[in-house]
A and B are shown apart, each in its own frame.
Chain A
Amino acid sequence: MTLLQVKNLNVTIETPYGPVEIVKKANFSLDKNDTLGIVGESGCGKSVTALAIMSLLPPESIVSGQILLEDQDLLLLNEDQLCNIRGNRIGMIFQEPMTALNPVQTIGFQIAETLMLHKKLKKAQITAQVKDLMEKVGLDVNRFPLNLYPHQLSGGQRQRVMIAMVIACRPDLLIADEPTTALDVTVQEQILDLINDLAQRYGMALIMISHDLGVIAQTTKNVMVMYAGTVMEKGKTIDVFQNMAHPYTYGLFASIPKPGSSRLGTKQPLYSIPGHVPDLRNSFKGCRFADRCFRAQKQCSLKEPSHTTLGNGHDVWCFHPLAGKKDHDAAG
């Protein structure tokens, strides 16, 4: 059953230089208990999409389209109604556990916050639930009493506190915005496992936002590749990762260092996509990736590509998608 459906989402921000289209025509949907990865480089609109779902974008941004949570369009709700949905039905984990916790409030208070807001519970029940949540995210209450302050914890421990805060009300949808980017690799593994495990155990749908293809592969069943505010390709993670059709997706994969490739004597320099991310203040007639694309032709920078369906829910927005192994080899 469909939990979240985003239709024609556009996010525009008014700036002194005129309106900037940060997200353009994003369409995607997510079933209950399902997982979706959003991948792309910095500034491609991943986080903005997440914040649009939470309706937490700054007031100067203009959001159009539809964001349906079951049958409710979130964009039509007022602030009070949104407050009942945030934290209760949609929870969000932030990137920086260092700054996403208030330094002058105890961790116990911050975990209890969501419960106090959405559940009518007595104080003792809340304390009991907070302790229970601490155990669930792997923090031993005896070692980490509830009256600790965030600065007394390490980055990974803080992210666990953050996760406890977010899952307190068992939201239907969990959005994780680069939850492990600020953490080191060993901790990253544990946190990802924890998020995945909790999402499965409590039947929460998960949107995992990351620039790290490894993280996406590890945690999601579906993936959406974004570039400069537009969706380039989406489908089952396994399809997209094995048979990438968009030249941008191909470029992303080619840019991953392969272990041992230089030591074995091949000494190939690490691939990088030529050029750089376009300035979104420019207006685009065609494909936003056209300037950097190795398959681009005249038509690409003149007309917006419509989507091509490759079957099994695998869609690509490109005039000249890579098709099959032959193209992949040729491109490499």
Chain B
Amino acid sequence: MFDRSNEILRHGLTNKSFVIGGVVSLVFFLIAILSYLWTPHPIDNIDIKNKLLGPCWTYFLGTDHFGRDIFSMLIMGARNSVIVAFVAIGIGIGIGVPLGLVAAAEKGWVDELIMRFNDFTFAFPSLISAIMITAILGPGAVNSVIAIGIFNIPVFARVARGGALSIWKKEFILAARSAGKKKLRISAEHVLPNIFSILIVQATIQFALGILAEAGLSYLGLGTQPPAASWGKMLNEAQTFLHFAPQLAIYPGAAIALTVLGLNLFGDGLRDVLDPKLRRNR
């Protein structure tokens, strides 16, 4: 295995999107971790005398209409995005992957039932359904995470099922069955390790989508609630001041765009690196 990870890294370094996306994503994660150790100012520190300041030495990126430090809020927003996206992916993988594996292992009506239910969930545009779910459950960070997580379930179920079906045709599965292994155990011990790479690639893509969805929900006031910071909420609040303080919208907007771009590039690059067939074409 050691040779393989070395090899992946070597090929990875020649892949531009892998490198650029990886660096951007890494910076994003480091900033999110940084929020636990240090922010220039507490984000609920209201300094109304100094509202709507431009960049200065005390406030690196200036202040908003309550006089809160924008830079600190961006850092806390990064943390918020990471947590929401991680938990949502956790829900998607935790429920979706087992469903996909069971569908591929059992085939027949079990497969039909799981996949048709998947299609049903998939048929709704995810953001609109997330709005619906948060509207039912009530706005809040936890509910928005659940809503985004639910939309990750069919994605992971599909990817897992597709990968698993091709693995089930392999002879080593027949060998495992002839040793007396039950289907579910084969799924866990033989199929899952073989579809790991496609799940990881899908996870990076869903991560970016999760950040986007969280920003969207918070923008609409359905996600993270004040005083917690979220990039989407910052955009929402900046809306009123767009004419005389456009920087309030530009900073969080740029943060969202850059992060999502970085993660998508990373996911794309990772797929090329992990899939030897695509690699040769580059």
Contact = CB atoms under 8 A, between A and B. Distances in A.
Interface in B191-230: 193-194, 196
Contacts of B176: 102, 113
Contacts, number: 72
B179 A56 contact: no
Contact of B180 (A88, A99, A162): A88
Interface string A81-116: 011111110111010100111111100000001100
Given A102-B190, A102-B194, A149-B1, A94 B174 contact: yes
B192 to A, nearest CB: 9
A105 B175 contact: no
Contact of B181 (A54, A91, A113): A113
Contact of A162 (B175, B189, B194): B175
Nearest to B195: A104
A79 B182 CA distance: 8
Contacts of A118: 180
How many of chain B's residues touch chain A, expressed as a range? 20 to 34
Nearest to A162: B175
Given A105-B193, A149-B1, A117 B174 contact: no
Contacts of B1: 149
A113 B174 contact: no
Given A86-B180, A87-B180, A100 B193 contact: no
A54 B179 CA distance: 10
Contact of B189 (A96, A100, A101, A105): A105
Nearest to A91: B178
Contact of B175 (A85, A101, A149): A101
Interface string B165-190: 00000111011111111100000011
B107 interface: yes
Contact of B179 (A80, A103, A104, A113): A113
A85 B180 contact: yes
Interface of A: 54, 56, 59, 79-80, 82-88, 90-92, 94, 96, 99-105, 113-114, 117-118, 149, 162, 165-166
Question: Which 5 residue pairs spanning A and B have beta carbons closest together?
Answer: A87-B180, A87-B179, A86-B180, A99-B171, A92-B178
20 contacts: A83-B180, A83-B182, A85-B180, A86-B178, A87-B178, A87-B180, A94-B171, A100-B175, A102-B176, A104-B196, A105-B189, A105-B190, A113-B176, A113-B181, A113-B189, A117-B180, A117-B181, A149-B1, A166-B178, A166-B179
Interface of B: 1, 107-108, 170-172, 174-182, 189-190, 193-194, 196
Given A88-B180, A104-B196, 6 more contacts: A59-B107, A59-B108, A87-B179, A99-B172, A104-B193, A105-B189
